[in-house]
């Protein structure tokens, strides 16, 4: 190690810190996981990370502390988004580490073996994880997409037809709550007809996705007195929800992001534009002026 360039030593130190940080992240998530199979997989990955850390510590001759910022960051992400998304995002963000292994491999033979484990073994183990919420992605998509299309159109139409934020938010809230219950009930009956023993959970995820979307879209009308400013903010919220949800799914389920995002955005905003036009037409034809 004495003839190893200082630059390479610094790269090894970065990897050393990364490995021990990830060890603690995996162990933290494992302790919070109730599923025994998942817990064992996470503990296995954690021990692998620790073994890599110990190899680098042996080369450098001194231990290192984990990154407190990364520990806090991924603990929060795990609590909010679940461990599959958190771990895949963490592993996907290791492009620099792969470049480091190529450089270090010129001086340290074991670097190639470690890189291979990082690249293949961990990914295989992560694919084995079975997180409950991801089994109901279809139900969440159903609730989210239906809420976006229906409520975006409803609020856009009511914005011009009524022009009063209180009336718009009241109408939207009643419509949204009724529709969320209806969607949840429909999902339950549909899954029950297919003999799905988890029909109630499917209905729950559908209803929750719907009602959360309703709350976000109506919020601007409750806070801002100008209906057209509220409309613009609401449409911005629609794009954000679609972006965030599709990004989450693309990372957690390894699905393409761009196509799914554009498809949902075009449909939701297209319906809003049509409904806004219908609102103008209804107001003109019926002579309603509130």
Residues 22 and 117 in one domain: yes
- Do 125 and 190 share a domain, yes or no? no
Q: Is the pLDDT of residue 207 over 90?
A: no
The pair of three-digit structure tokens given for residue 191, joined into one six-digit string = 């899954």
Q: What angle do CA 66, 71, 74 make, to 5 degrees?
A: 145
| Banded model confidence at residue 28, pLDDT cuts 50, 70, 90 | very high
88 band by pLDDT with thresholds 50, 70 and 90? confident
- CATH number for the domain that contains residue 92: 1.20.1260
| Digit-coded pLDDT (tens) for 121-153 | 566 666 666 666 666 676 777 677 777 777 887
Of 108, 130, 152, the residue at which a domain comes to its end is 130
Which of 173-177, 207-211, 212-216, 277-281 is predicted least confidently? 277-281
Residue 225, pLDDT > 50, answer yes
Residue 247 lies in a domain: yes
Model confidence over 166-182: pLDDT tens digits? 888 888 888 888 888 88
What is the pLDDT averaged over residues 207-218?
87
pLDDT at 228: 86
| Domain count of the fold of the chain | 2
Across the range 187-200, mean pLDDT stands at: 80
> pLDDT-based confidence at 197, cuts 50/70/90?
confident
Residue 170 resides in a domain: yes
List pLDDT tens digits, range 96-110.
Answer: 566 677 777 777 777
115 lies in the same domain as 137: no
Domain assignment present for 1: no
Q: Which domain holds residue 100?
A: 6-130
Residues 110 and 138 in one domain: no
Q: Considering only residues 85 and 3, tell me which one the structure prediction assigns the higher pLDDT.
A: 85
Whether residue 164 is found in the same domain as residue 243: yes
Q: Is the pLDDT at 20 greater than 90, yes or no?
A: yes
139 lies in some domain: yes
The answer on pLDDT for 290 being more than 50 is no
| Residue 123 and residue 150 in one domain | no
Go through 175-211 and write b for each residue having 16 or more CB atoms within 10 A of its CB, e for each that does not.
bbeebbeebbeebbebbeeeeeeebebbbbbbbbbbb
> Is position 219 within any domain?
yes
Domain assignment present for residue 156? The answer is: yes
Whether residues 119 and 169 share a domain: the answer is no
Look at residue 145 and tell me if it is in a domain.
yes
pLDDT value of position 25: 92
How far is Cα 15 from Cα 96, in angstroms, rounded to an integer? 10
Cα 72 from chain centroid? 18
pLDDT given at position 23 = 92
End residue of a domain, out of 130, 146, 181? 130
Residues 186 and 275 in one domain: yes
| Boundary (domain end) residue, out of 110, 130, 150 | 130
Burial environment of residue 156 by CB neighbours within 10 A (0 to 12, 13 to 18, 19 or more): buried
Residues 88, 231, single domain; the answer is: no
Could you tell me if 33 and 169 lie in one domain?
no
125 and 76 share one domain: yes
Domain annotation covers residue 26: yes
């Amino acid at each position: 190690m004495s003839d190893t360039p200082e630059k390479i030593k610094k790269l090894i130190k970065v990897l050393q810190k990364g490995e021990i940080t990830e060890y603690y992240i995996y162990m933290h998530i494992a302790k919070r996981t109730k599923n025994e199979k998942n817990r064992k997989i996470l503990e296995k990955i954690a021990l692998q990370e620790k073994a890599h850390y110990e190899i680098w510590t042996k080369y450098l001759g001194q231990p290192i502390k984990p990154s407190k910022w990364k520990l806090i960051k991924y603990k929060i992400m795990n609590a909010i988004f679940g461990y599959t998304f958190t771990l895949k995002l963490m592993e996907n963000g290791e492009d620099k580490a792969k470049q480091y292994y190529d450089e270090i491999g010129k001086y340290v033979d074991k670097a190639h073996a470690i890189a291979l484990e990082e690249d293949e073994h961990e990914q295989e183990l992560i694919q084995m994880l079975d997180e409950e919420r991801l089994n109901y992605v279809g139900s969440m998509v159903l609730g989210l997409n239906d809420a976006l299309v229906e409520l975006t159109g409803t609020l856009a139409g009511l914005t011009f037809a009524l022009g009063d934020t209180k009336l718009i938010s009241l109408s939207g809230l009643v419509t949204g709550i009724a529709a969320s219950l209806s969607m949840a009930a429909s999902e339950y009956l549909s899954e029950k007809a297919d003999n799905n023993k988890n029909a109630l959970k499917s209905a729950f995820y559908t209803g929750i996705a719907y009602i959360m979307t309703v709350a976000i879209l109506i919020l601007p009308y409750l806070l801002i007195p100008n209906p057209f400013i509220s409309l613009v903010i609401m449409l911005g919220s629609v794009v954000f929800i679609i972006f965030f949800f599709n990004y989450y799914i693309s990372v957690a389920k390894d699905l393409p992001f761009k196509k799914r995002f554009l498809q949902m955005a075009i449909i939701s905003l297209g319906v809003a534009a049509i409904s806004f036009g219908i609102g103008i037409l209804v107001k003109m034809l019926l002579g309603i002026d509130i």
